[in-house]
């Protein structure tokens, strides 16, 4: 009998459950997926699942934060990027793709709806957003100092407006998978052009 349990077990179990949940959510959506299904997929019992997550909502919250983190990798890269406009188009592409692996589109709105009721998740998302906005604002400032762009407004506000619009595009795609990602990216790009006014 070991004095300490495997310290990596909890993290492994969480990952195992999250992977199963993501699979099910993509398949059938958040609401139509039952805990029992997640348990079957993760080969674990309901009792065990609840050792690692407080609730079903807690599971979406974890997935939400993961998905954001993935999309935000592109934001990290804004700082070092050569062309701000190019980097922004890449960011849009990454963000739209992160929530477009079929089924995931709806997940984005589930997350939003969940956050509107779960203030912990809302706070976590707000913090992520604050960071992303700050990074984008810095990148804009840097490009402005370098003479690459002549933004139409304060960098902070430009950053916020751009991220707001990007989120808007992503949510529209979640509802109406009408146009290819590239088209949404192009529209976003046109917006950045007119807000950031690059030197020609």
Residues at the contact surface with DNA, assessed by CB under 7 A: 5-6, 9-10, 13, 33-36, 44-48, 50-51, 55-57
Among 49, 87, 110, 143, binds a copy of itself (CB under 8 A): 110
Give min distance, CB of 94 to a copy of itself, in A. 18
> Rule CB under 8 A: which of 134-153 touch a copy of itself?
152-153
- State in angstroms the smallest separation of the CB of 47 from a copy of itself: 24
Give the one entry of DNA, a copy of itself, none that residue 142 binds, where binding means its C-beta sits below a cut-off of 5 to 8 angstroms depending on kind: none
Q: Does 175 bind a copy of itself (CB under 8 A)?
A: yes
Segment near a copy of itself (CB under 8 A); pick from 39-47, 77-85, 87-95, 164-172 = 164-172
Here the tokens at position 24 are 């099910």
> 162 exposed, middle or buried (CB, 10 Å; 0-12, 13-18, 19+)?
buried
Residue 63 touching a copy of itself (CB under 8 A) = no
Q: Pick the closest to residue 132 from 156, 98, 114, 105 (CA basis).
A: 156
User: What is the CB neighbour count within 10 angstroms for residue 87?
Assistant: 20
157 is a contact residue toward a copy of itself (CB under 8 A): yes
What is the rounded distance in angstroms from the CA atom of residue 87 to the CA atom of residue 196? 13
| 105: partner contacted, choices a copy of itself, DNA, none (Cβ within 5-8 A by kind) | a copy of itself
Q: Which stretch binds a copy of itself (CB under 8 A): 2-10, 42-50, 69-77, 163-171?
A: 163-171
Beta bridge partners of 107: none
Supply φ then ψ for residue 181, to 5 degrees: -55, -40
Total residue count of the chain as it appears in this document: 200
SS3 string, 131-170, reads: HHHHHHHHHHHHHHHCCCECCCCCHHHHHHHHHHHHHHHH
- Regarding 191 and contact with a copy of itself (CB under 8 A), the answer is yes
Contact status: 182 vs a copy of itself (CB under 8 A): no
């Amino acid at each position: 009998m070991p004095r300490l349990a495997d310290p990596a077990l909890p993290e492994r179990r969480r990952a195992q459950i999250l992977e199963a949940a993501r699979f099910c959510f993509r398949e059938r959506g958040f609401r139509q997926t039952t805990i029992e299904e997640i348990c079957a997929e993760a080969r674990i019992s309901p009792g065990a699942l609840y050792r690692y997550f407080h609730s079903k909502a807690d599971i979406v919250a974890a997935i939400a934060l993961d998905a954001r983190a993935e999309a935000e990798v592109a934001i990290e890269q804004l700082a070092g990027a050569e062309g701000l406009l190019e980097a922004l188009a890449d960011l849009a592409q990454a963000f739209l793709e992160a929530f477009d692996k079929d089924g995931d589109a709806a997940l984005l709105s589930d997350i939003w709806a969940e956050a509107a009721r779960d203030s912990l998740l809302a706070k976590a998302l707000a913090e992520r957003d604050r960071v992303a906005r700050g990074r984008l604002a810095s990148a804009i400032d840097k490009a402005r100092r370098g003479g690459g762009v002549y933004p139409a407004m304060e960098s902070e506000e430009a950053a916020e407006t751009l991220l707001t619009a990007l989120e808007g595009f992503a949510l529209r795609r979640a509802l109406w998978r009408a146009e290819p990602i590239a088209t949404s990216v192009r529209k976003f790009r046109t917006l950045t052009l007119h807000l950031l006014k690059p030197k020609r």
